Amino acid sequence: MAEQVIRGLGVSPGVVSAPWLRFGSQLETSAQDPVGDSPERELARVKDALGGVADEMAARAARVSGVAAEILTMSATMARDPGIVAATEKELAAGMPTAHAVHLAFEGFCAKLEALGGYMAERATDLRDIGGRTVAVLLGRPMPGIPEPGYPFVLVARDLAPADTAMLGDSDVVGLLTSEGGPTSHTAILAKSLGLPAVVNCPGTDLLVEGAPVLLDGTTGEVVIDPSQARQQDAAERAAADRARIAAASGPGRTADGTPVHLLVNIGTVDDAVKAGPVDSEGVGLFRTEFMYLGKPSEPSLDEQTASYTAVLEQFAGRRVVVRTLDAGSDKPLPFLDLGTEENPALGVRGLRIGTVFPQTLATQLTALARAGEATGAELWVMAPMVATSDEAAGFAALARESGLRKVGAMIEIPAAALRAVDLLTHLDFVSIGTNDLSQYTCAVDRMAGGLAHLLDPWQPAVLDLIAMVGAAGAAAGKSVGVCGEAASDPTLAPVLVGLGVTSLSMSVPALPAVRAALSAVDIDRCRDAADAACAARNPQLAREAVAAIVGHP
């Protein structure tokens, strides 16, 4: 049989060839299933099952860190939501079989979240996953999810619930292939954080041959069905050569002619900081402080926050640590911040805007950061998320400096901020581009809209144009321009970003060596030529091809 090639979006670099297995499907329930004991006793069983699922999620969260820990912690919280128990009790009273009552209860909540759209629809995926696990417990059946064959394999799925993706680190999965999803989905983000080659939004997974391997290229998005032995051998040799090339690069980031590009890591917790501290990086380009708040019933005190931030900063004495102030709201609601119900939370009160509703929350955080900075030897930079206007930048900068913070910046996530970056930088010391949200807001596409994932590609020329505007503004002002979104971890895009004027890149720890190696192979003039070529292209695929012709594949 001749080799067949299908293509999707490469979202986590690397090449792997291995057998493939499909993700375990959710169990089916029906109103015709046998009815159990009395509603009271069945409700007690449901409570026990939900508690068991919550405990399992919490235990897994304790074994991981960063984004994975956050996702699993939120899943545990969802499983303990009393609203689920109340909805199940109502279904049991109506005569529904126990497992089906649970299914209906969860689907009712999922429908409400999906109706809200935006980030809240993403939470429906999480919730549906918890429901499926609870049903499996009640029926005494194996959990839906990742197979455990005892050998390395490529996992094939329609898409993955965040809780499942967070468990990939404990599995035999060596590559990931999904028919849905996008470049900024949880699947893509966590695959990068684990160093797993991944291709998403790939039509044609139904063409895979049972019992035959696949060859998956997480850089190009190419998937070869039943590859020849020669192709598998070639892929293995290329992968080995890539590993050797990447391992040979070390030290501060720079292009081949010595132009510095600061290479930093993204963290979210104290555990992340402890693990990332010894890594060969120049510090932290994004410390997501909201992870310190998630799962807490009340707002952390000034002393609690100061202690947590100090524990993070002391891991990076002498190095830069860029802290993002609380980015709650939208998909990260906090129980002690009542923001009410919003029609579209992704366009509502989130990020810096929370400070207008709860000014003391922001003031306390800034004070805690200033105290932690004074107590450690780290070079502390602080930035606000979701800044849209020059006035907002000026207001945040004034508040931060009054709190004793010296290096103050803002995230560029909103097209308005990119378009007026010159004005923002009159008040700020630096800016950092969050390409995930910038792509979403520029192309008006929900990050979970799998069918529109191509519009979330950071190679979109319109997104590159906005990055170029910010880079030019930074160069004119003599101020730092970073990228801390997922685009920073793409070794093929790194030279383009540098050519657009970006002076630092921040990413997950596993992505850093490949980006360092890619930059060390090109000089600044080739980076600028690559940037010009990418911006001149009509679409992301042509942009990739044009850049590859100039700098080659990493």
Q: Scan for tokens 């939501």, then name that residue.
A: 81
Give, in order, the Cα–Cα distances in Å from 309 to each of 26, 194, 390, 408, 511: 41, 25, 28, 17, 25
Q: How far apart are CA 52 and CA 70, in angstroms?
A: 19
Q: How far apart are CA 96 and CA 229, in angstroms?
A: 54
Q: Which helix (H) or strand (E) holds 44?
A: helix 39-63
Provide the annotated active-site residues: 186, 484
Cβ-based neighbours of 16, under 8 Å, separated by 6 or more: 154, 174, 175, 197, 215, 216, 218, 235, 239
Cβ-based neighbours of 229, under 8 Å, separated by 6 or more: none
- Pairing type for strands 173-178 and 262-267 reads unpaired
Instruction: Order across the sheet with 15-18: list the strands.
Output: 4-7, 222-225, 214-217, 15-18
Q: Are 551 and 526 within 8 A, CB to CB?
A: yes
Cβ-based neighbours of 461, under 8 Å, separated by 6 or more: 534, 535, 536, 537, 538, 539, 540, 543
The closest alpha carbon to 365, from 432, 293, 417, 297, belongs to: 293
Q: Which two tokens stand for residue 546?
A: 């044009």
Q: How far apart are CA 505 and CA 458, in angstroms?
A: 14
Q: Scan for tokens 């499996």, then name that residue.
A: 136
Cβ-based neighbours of 241, under 8 Å, separated by 6 or more: none
Q: Which two tokens stand for residue 162?
A: 């965040």
Q: How far apart are CA 450 and CA 156, in angstroms?
A: 16
Q: How far apart are CA 382 and CA 304, in angstroms?
A: 19
Q: How many residues does the chain have?
A: 554
- Pairing type for strands 320-324 and 283-288 reads parallel
E strands within 389-548? 407-412, 430-433, 480-483, 504-507
Cβ-based neighbours of 266, under 8 Å, separated by 6 or more: 284, 285, 286, 287, 288, 484, 506, 507, 508
